[in-house]
Amino acid sequence: MLPVPEFFTLVVGRGEGKKKLTAFDSALLDAGVGNMNLLRVSSVLPPRCSFQPSLKMPFGSLLPIAYGSITSDVPGETISASIGVGIPEDPDSFGMIFEFSGFCSGSEAAMKVEEMVREAFEMRSLALREVKVKAIDHVIGECGTVFAGCPLFFPIR
């Protein structure tokens, strides 16, 4: 069995490139996770997982992360991504992570992801203590990406 992560943070980034994949890579670098091996996970925040304001991991680390992103090559188009985490009232319970990406402002993306977090807690009859949200938007130059993620990680020993 894999260990359960003890920490989480929220990251966002935007990037431009000549190709869609290099724009995505640029957004990962901007978010601070571009030099790690991302392992995409779904939407459950482990019990007693505590928020850290920043992520410090060695290059090449395997990093579980829930994320949303969107890429466009339409100059002038606005794209956004947001990540939201619902923290339960009971520290022994689990939380929920949701992501959103689309063609809207960052503030609209933040509202949408917060609504999803609140709905997920209601569906599970969980008491919600706090919602943390981070969002970003970007107007496309040539080819751009926005990225919003919730890395789940362990103490560096």
* Residue 93 designated active-site: no
Whether residue 82 lies in the annotated active site: no
101 annotated active-site: no
CA 122 to chain centre: 21
99 is catalytic: yes
Which one from 6, 16, 43, 93 is the annotated catalytic residue? 43
The one catalytic residue in 80, 99, 101, 114 is 99
Of 37, 119, 122, 142, which one is the catalytic site residue?
37
Catalytic residue among 42, 50, 54, 125: 42
Active site residues: 37, 42-43, 99
